[in-house]
Amino acid sequence: MGTIDELLKRDWYFQGFNGTPALLYGPMYSMFKDMPNFLGYGYSACIE
């Protein structure tokens, strides 16, 4: 992962939802590991 300055240079898609932070590990892992394999695309960065 890069520095904050590198992250601020990106265009971001903001998504929000009500949830419990302790349960976000599974979806976060899936965004980087499972989505590219199954859908052909995924995320390259995530800030939680």
* 18-47 per-position pLDDT tens digit: 665 655 667 777 777 788 888 887 777 776
Q: Is the pTM of this model over 0.85?
A: no
Q: How much of the chain exceeds pLDDT 90, in percent?
A: 0
Indicate if the pLDDT at residue 10 is higher than 80: yes
CA–CA separation, 21 and 12 (whole Å): 20
Counting beta carbons within 10 angstroms of the beta carbon of residue 39, is it exposed (0 to 12), middle (13 to 18) or buried (19 or more)? exposed
pLDDT band at 48 (very low <50, low <70, confident <90, very high): low
